[in-house]
Structure 1
Amino acid sequence: MVLEGVVATRRAGGAAFTLTIEALRLEAGSLVAVTGASGTGKSTLLDIAALARRPDNATVMAICGTDAAALWARGAKDALATLRARHFGYVLQTGGLVPFLSVGANAALAQDLAGRRDAAHLVALAGTLGIDDLLARMPASLSVGQRQRAAILRALAHRPALVLADEPTASVHPDMAATILALLADQARQAGAAVLLATHDAPAARAAGFHEVPLQPGPASSRLPALLPA
């Protein structure tokens, strides 16, 4: 994934906040943690990267060989949805599991949307995450830590090229937070995926092997400095 010269403005109650992404290039196996205080644009950054939010301007938005900026310009929502389904796995703060589907069905849905149904891979991944005995359970019956592991299972089940995680440890005990970050990093590495993590816990992210990139706040704005491979 390559993002260059991307600008997004969020407006609420007459106020405006602008996020500028100078340059962000993620390759297979990259582990990047974007850090910053609440309100500095971490979630906005992930939504832009996930093609869930249209930027105001974008010099380059290249996703797995596709010009996403051109798709936004044409209003090609179906093509953007296909890109998201095939190439992205998203771990939300609260897990974001479909409440009326079991853990296994949530992960299978991600595989189906990507056109990559692989029951054996799903079961093996669940075993590595320690939730193979929870596949038939409904999300409401799980603990917070179990839900986050289930969300990681869903995010990785279809072998995405890019995994996005928005404060995935914000609501769990510090010991569980370390476990979740380590599992997310290890499983993404094994799958050959890049991981873009938004977190307020920089020490935990660094301990899990993530390269920290702090957002640089300014008046009603934040900037992500250029991050290119060495």
Structure 2
Amino acid sequence: MLDIKNLLVRRGEGALAHHVRLPHLHVRAGEILAITGESGSGKSTLLEAIGLLLAPVELERFQLGPGRQEPPARTGVLPAQDIARLLASDDQPALAAVRSQHLGFILQSGGLLPFLSVRDNISLPRRLLGMSTHSAHIDHAVEVLRLQGLLDKRPQALSIGERQRVACVRAIAHEPLLLLADEPTAALDPHSARRLFELLLSLVSSMGLSALVVSHDWALLKDFGLPRLGAVSRQGETLFEPMD
């Protein structure tokens, strides 16, 4: 579903430049991978590059979607897209279409629109794409995260943890191919964090998504047995590679 080879991103210039390098990444449909490392190691930078918010300075391969020998996980999903080609040609309209249709983001801040209700925040990605506002996946996520009583409220009436739970549902509302989550449990109590991880695992599996989750919650990652992509820091560079 997600296949990347030799991705290099640069932050800063000259002597202050720091490079984030990803030699290889392959995430199958229905699989969730954790990205770990110390603060400032470049985890969010890597997520932004994979989320097409930062342009890499080097890239050999970046494909999103079913491979040549792999049937689509869901009906209506097109064959794998050559994202590397779109980046090389700086095709901004096509890249924007990939971001809106096939990527789902969960930000640390939640990123909810304050002038919309919870219900409208969740349905907004589907409405923008011309999709039906009703979805069984959304109904299931709302029930598991106990958001039924919050649907008519606005974000300012919610706690930080409630906003983050809403943000998680919104991120999968339009049924993306790839879910990118930056510390989705940072504002949650341990019980809510576990329920959220359980939901993410269930949705990734049932919807056939691929998911990358940045997290500092080592105990939670260990409990769920998630495979890890860990940061190895060097002078002027961070390398991300699989960890045991």
Q: Structure 1-normalised TM-score?
A: 0.91
Paired residue for 1:11?
Answer: 12
Residue 44 (structure 2) pairs with residue 28 (structure 1): no
Shift of the 166–154 alpha-carbon distance from structure 1 to 2, 3 Å rule, reads same
Gaps spanning 5+ residues in structure 1: where? Answer: none
Out of 214-223 and 166-175, give the one that drifted further: 166-175
Paired residue for 2:204?
Answer: 188
Alignment-mate amino acid for residue 32 of structure 2: L
Q: Structure 2-normalised TM-score?
A: 0.86
Shift of the 140–75 alpha-carbon distance from structure 1 to 2, 3 Å rule, reads same
Out of 112-121 and 162-171, give the one that drifted further: 112-121
Paired residue for 1:72?
Answer: 87
What is the number of equivalent residue pairs in this alignment?
227
Paired residue for 2:104?
Answer: 89
Residue by residue over 1:141-190, the C-alpha shift from the partner in whole angstroms, topping out at 9 and shown as x without a partner, is: 11122111101110111111111110112233233322222222222222
1:107 aligned counterpart, secondary structure: helix
Out of 29-38 and 11-20, give the one that drifted further: 11-20
2:12 aligned counterpart, secondary structure: strand
| Coordinate RMSD, CA, aligned | 1.9
1:195 and 1:188 map into 2 onto residues whose CA distance is 7
Identity of aligned residues (%): 33
Paired residue for 2:173?
Answer: 157
Indicate conservation of the 8 Å contact 1:86/1:115, yes or no: no
2:131 pairs, out of 104, 116, 137, with 116
1:13 and 1:95 map into 2 onto residues whose CA distance is 34
1:84 and 1:146 map into 2 onto residues whose CA distance is 25
Gaps spanning 5+ residues in structure 2: where? Answer: 66-79
